[in-house]
Amino acid sequence: MSENGSVAAATWEQVELARHPDRPYALDYIHAIFSDFFELHGDRVFGDDHAIIGGPAAFDKRTVMVIAQQKGRTTAERALRNFGMANPEGYRKALRLIKQAERFRFPIVALVDTSGAFPGAGAEERGIAWAIADNLVALAEARVPIVTLVIGEGGSGGALGIGVGDRLLMMEHSIYSVAMPEACASILWRDIARKVEAADALKLTAADLKRLGLADEIVPEPPGGAQNDFGVATDAAGAALRRHLGALETIEIDRLVEERYQRYRKIGAEAP
């Protein structure tokens, strides 16, 4: 590609790959990487949200707490999972699991895959912003190692609501953005058709985040994308999670929590 706009077109290709309907979703990674995953349900307040799933699972010789955003593959499952867009109940279930992980010293593995928190009247009535903000605090303070892996779409506050941690890994063709390109185009250009330009301007690819110093590692996918070979993608993801968790577990917990604080504290800080 050499003509005008080729860079933007290449970025858009990444967006489409990140959203590819045949891509492995959270449960595909969970079943491939962990054993004995036991899904916990419900936020103990209002309901159970199937867009965010989680529970303890065995990973090598330890138990980890998995918290993940799950999209649906069939029409029925998409409806059940609300296209991976969680309501407050999903974030409050995640909060329950974060607290439980601390209690039992389970490291947390978060798999991010959402276009964003659900924009619905009920979500607003039940305090979606409040639920997300509470999780930001809980994850920042959690006294266990946390590794976040973006497997597909990382959409705004909805992704960050389970995405604060010690390491941010991104699958090669995943994206992570302050707003989805369509929303950004609609806000800044007042024209949703400018989504390709918006995607490029937002700097949302895994490579962009690595360059910005926000992502720690890009996990390679098979040629053409993870949808072409689940095994290759999940093996690479498992290996990366194993390596990073192993390294984090050697760090004394007070220092780890302090380093996590500084990790975010320095983003956008003035040079002295």
Partner 1 sequence: MFRPKTRYVALPSPRAGVGEEIDRLTCPKCDTSLEPARLTAALGVCYRCGYHFRLRAPERIAMLVEPGSFREEDQQITAKDVLGFKDSQPYSKRIEQSRAATGANEAVIWGEATLAGHRLVIVCLDFAFMGGSMGAATGEKITNGIERALQSHLPLLIISASGGARMQEGMLSLMQLAKTAAALGRLGAAGVPYISLLTDPTMGGVTASFASLGDVILAEPGAMIGFAGARVIQQATYETLPEGFQTAEFLWRHGMIDLVVPRPELPAVLRQLLDLYIKNGIVKDFELQKPAKTSAPVSVVPR
Burial of 109 by CB count in 10 Å (0-12 exposed, 13-18 middle, 19+ buried)?
Answer: buried
Burial of 250 by CB count in 10 Å (0-12 exposed, 13-18 middle, 19+ buried)?
Answer: exposed
Are the C-beta atoms of residues 110 and 163 closer than 8 Å to each other? yes
For residue 101 the two structure tokens come to 């992980």
183 in contact with partner 1 (CB under 8 A):
yes
Instruction: Show contacts with partner 1 in window 189-208 (CB under 8 A).
Output: 189, 197-198, 201-204, 208
Region near partner 1 per CB under 8 A, out of 11-19, 73-81, 239-247, 251-259 = 251-259
Tokens 């909060």 belong to which residue?
A: 95
Give the Cα separation of 231 and 127 in Å (integer): 39
28 in contact with partner 1 (CB under 8 A):
no
Of 28 and 172, the one with the shorter C-beta distance to partner 1 is 172
Which candidate, 55, 57, 48, places its Cα nearest to that of 86?
48
76 in contact with partner 1 (CB under 8 A):
no
Of 101 and 132, the one with the shorter C-beta distance to partner 1 is 132
Give the Cα separation of 91 and 117 in Å (integer): 9
Among 30, 109, 160, 219, binds partner 1 (CB under 8 A): 160
134 in contact with partner 1 (CB under 8 A):
yes
Q: Specify whether the backbone of 190 is left (phi greater than 0), alpha (psi in -120 to 50) or beta.
A: left
Least distance to partner 1, CB of residue 135, Å: 9
47 in contact with partner 1 (CB under 8 A):
no
Of 32 and 253, the one with the shorter C-beta distance to partner 1 is 253
For residue 183 the two structure tokens come to 């929303």
177 in contact with partner 1 (CB under 8 A):
yes
Residues that bind partner 1 (CB under 8 A): 117-121, 123-130, 132-134, 136-138, 140-141, 143, 156-157, 160-161, 164, 176-179, 183-184, 187-189, 197-198, 201-204, 208-209, 212, 214, 254, 257-258, 260-261, 264-265, 267-270
